Amino acid sequence: MACTSGLASWSRLLARPVSRALRPLALHSRLTPGAARQLAAEAPAQRQHWRTAAAAVDAEQQVAASQQQQQGGAAAPLRDVVEVLRSRGLLQDVTSLELGSASNHEQLLAYCGFDPTAESLHLGNLLGIIVLAWFQRCGHVPVALLGGATGRVGDPSGKSAERPVLSEEVIERNVAGIERTLRTLLRPPPGSGLAEPLVLNNLDWYGPMGLLTFLREIGKYARVGTMLAKESVRKRMESESGISYTEFTYQLLQGYDFVHMRRQFGVRVQVGGSDQWGNILAGTDLMRRMMGGPEEAEEAAGSTNGSISSSGGSISISAVAAADDSAGAPPSSSSSEGFVSEQCFGLTFPLLLKADGSKFGKSESGALWLNADMLSPYQFYQNLFKTTDEDVVKFLRMLTFLSLEEVAAIAASMQSPGYVANTAQRRLAEEVTRFVHGEEGLAQAIKTTEALAPGAATKLDADSLEDIAGDAPSASLPREQLVGALLADVMVAVGMQPSKGAVRRMIKGGGVRVNNEKVDDELAVLAEEDLIDGRLLLIATGKKNKMLVRVAA
């Protein structure tokens, strides 16, 4: 099958008129009070209708961009993605090993979901992005699904209590921030022949869907016994807080995401972390029940205990070739027209764990965010640089795109007599920082790292000092207490030493630096030129004890 066949069918599914939905509402200049009230009541639904139609236009434009990108260079050759992921330690479970053969012969669309629980994704989410990137590099189309709807419900998986409810404004802000990150990290290099990512938001199909529609068209295929048997649900039901109906339905929402994207875009693979295995199986089960053909769907609807074993196995489903044009209304499964037998797959990757079993990606100050506004490239780089020797080779396989031969060579070099300590860690930090923050972010991280090394020739600047703000304590003093003041007085004022005598003894012993330059004078006085950018000063005692002093506003 040609490499672009998946995109071709995807484009056909989207080729439907949307101009009528996008026409502005014609308003009369004068409205009766009753008409005004009716218009106000209909406004939210109308806005959602426009949003759904606009999303369809956006998806069509993304298809066109992906096709143009692949036409701009030789299409990436198809590869067995299962074997690639297994060799890199990125495969935990798969519903059928036939995914390997399928990925080697036809272009697939694979999706991973990201709920907007924060404004930024973190290092744990990066694994999902990397798995999508490997699908992309193996000639397939990555699909990133934003949980604009599911984020309003909350996934109970791995949680001992219900997630806090976020406001609409916060959710929309989080969605926008995560979308920027996903588009940036999955954007292929020009001329690479790799497919552009498709970025979707499940609020676009759940937003206009009414409760009765959901229950009638989707809920009737769900088996309560199967839903109750999920480990995440069972644990919460046994807990003191229990589980709300809202969170209980999460697995059904996630399951229908897969069904909807299979129908509308031809998505045939869902990937997620190992804690999502139950939800992924719920999706493949719902897929079988809703899209398994008239006879199978009727039998599934009448069943009381249907389920899919978590041990995997081939899951054969039938797909509807024609998409439903009505926004938010799932296509009926009662028609036998347009059914073709194709297989869909679920796949999970392991959690990112250190050798001691704890999660990798947590720092003393919290999560390792991917957004530079929440965690600077320098801090991101430093946390990766601190990886232990026991973990670094494993993380080089999982978190980078280095060839396995190069990773093996790095591992072998660590056992050689001339190995320079932390060389492997430095390579890990460089590769992952480059992928997340680009060449510019990596350059800033390296510059700051070098500038902060004791005795470094690299001159400190304001950007470098701002980068360490999260790693070093800080204090603020009025300008008159800094310029012209004794260094000893300043160090006592910010709490670095208990007395001026202690400061003088440290200076005499060569243990004090200002802006990374050694201080020799026990009676040193700070000058205006010591303030970097006229507002920052870095004082250090020893290698690790640093204080960032700011000029108070």
Range of the domain at 119: 75-291
Is the same domain home to 83 and 135?
A: yes
CATH code, domain carrying 500: 3.10.290.10
Residue 313 pLDDT more than 70? no
Which residues of 185-268 form beta strands (DSSP E)?
198-201
Residue 48 lies in a domain: no
Cα–Cα dist 492/460, whole Å: 23
How many domains, in total, are found in the chain? 3
Pick from 291, 318, 342: which residue ends a domain? 291
Mean pLDDT calculated for residue range 429-441: 96
Mean pLDDT calculated for residue range 202-221: 90
The share of the chain scoring above pLDDT 90, in percent, equals 43
Pick from 402, 429, 452: which residue ends a domain? 452
Of 61 and 352, the structure prediction assigns the larger pLDDT to 352
Cα–Cα dist 418/539, whole Å: 35
Is the same domain home to 446 and 519?
A: no
Cα–Cα dist 285/22, whole Å: 36
Query: Reduced to 3 states, what is the DSSP secondary structure of residue 177?
Result: helix
Q: Which of 426, 300, 310, 446 is nearest to 377 (CA)?
A: 446
Cα–Cα dist 283/405, whole Å: 37
Rg of the chain, C-alpha, whole Å: 28
Residue 67 lies in a domain: no
Residue 1 lies in a domain: no
Sorted by sequence, the CB contacts under 8 Å of residue 47 that are 6+ apart come out as none
Which residues of 284-350 form beta strands (DSSP E)?
316-320, 339-343, 345-349
Cα–Cα dist 67/61, whole Å: 10
What pLDDT does residue 248 have? Answer: 83
What pLDDT does residue 161 have? Answer: 59
Is the same domain home to 490 and 405?
A: no
Per-residue pLDDT of 268-300, as tens digits, reads 999 999 988 888 888 888 888 888 743 343 343
- DSSP annotation of 161 reads S
Residue 18 lies in a domain: no
Structure tokens at 99: 């995914």
Is the same domain home to 84 and 149?
A: yes
Pick from 408, 434, 452: which residue ends a domain? 452
The whole model's pTM is what?
0.75
Is the same domain home to 515 and 422?
A: no
Sorted by sequence, the CB contacts under 8 Å of residue 185 that are 6+ apart come out as 129, 133, 370, 435, 436
Mean pLDDT calculated for residue range 521-532: 92
What pLDDT does residue 324 have? Answer: 37
Mean pLDDT of the chain: 79
Residue 139 lies in a domain: yes
Structure confidence at residue 181 as a pLDDT band (50, 70, 90): very high
- The answer to which of 7-16, 152-161, 211-220, 542-551 has the lowest mean pLDDT is 7-16
Q: Which of 63, 62, 49 is nearest to 20 (CA)?
A: 49
- Whole-number Cα distances in Å, 339 to 263, 282, 318, 335: 11, 22, 6, 9
Is the same domain home to 524 and 390?
A: no
Is the same domain home to 405 and 502?
A: no
Q: Are 206 and 151 in contact (CB under 8 A)?
A: no
- DSSP annotation of 343 reads E
Residue 147 lies in a domain: yes
Residue 332 pLDDT more than 60? no
Sorted by sequence, the CB contacts under 8 Å of residue 401 that are 6+ apart come out as 133, 137, 431, 435
Structure confidence at residue 28 as a pLDDT band (50, 70, 90): very low
CA 147 to chain centre: 11
Structure confidence at residue 473 as a pLDDT band (50, 70, 90): confident
Straight-line distance from the first to the last Cα atom of the chain, in angstroms, rounded to the nearest whole number: 65
Structure confidence at residue 22 as a pLDDT band (50, 70, 90): very low
Q: Which of 285, 290, 257, 260 is nearest to 115 (CA)?
A: 257
Cα–Cα dist 250/549, whole Å: 48
Is the same domain home to 517 and 425?
A: no
- Edge-to-edge strand order for the sheet containing 198-201? 93-94, 345-349, 269-273, 109-114, 141-146, 198-201
Is the same domain home to 147 and 235?
A: yes
- Count of residues in the chain: 553
Cα–Cα dist 507/492, whole Å: 13
CATH code, domain carrying 238: 3.40.50.620
Cα–Cα dist 407/129, whole Å: 20
What pLDDT does residue 331 have? Answer: 43
Q: Which of 218, 233, 237 is nearest to 149 (CA)?
A: 218
Is the same domain home to 473 and 408?
A: no
Q: Are 197 and 143 in contact (CB under 8 A)?
A: yes
**Helix H or strand E encompassing 251:** helix 250-265
Q: Which of 310, 322, 249, 321 is nearest to 285 (CA)?
A: 310
Residue 444 lies in a domain: yes
Is the same domain home to 125 and 273?
A: yes
CA 44 to chain centre: 30
Structure confidence at residue 440 as a pLDDT band (50, 70, 90): very high
Residue 308 lies in a domain: no
Per-residue pLDDT of 362-401, as tens digits, reads 655 578 999 998 888 998 999 999 999 999 999 999 999 9
Query: Reduced to 3 states, what is the DSSP secondary structure of residue 404?
Result: helix
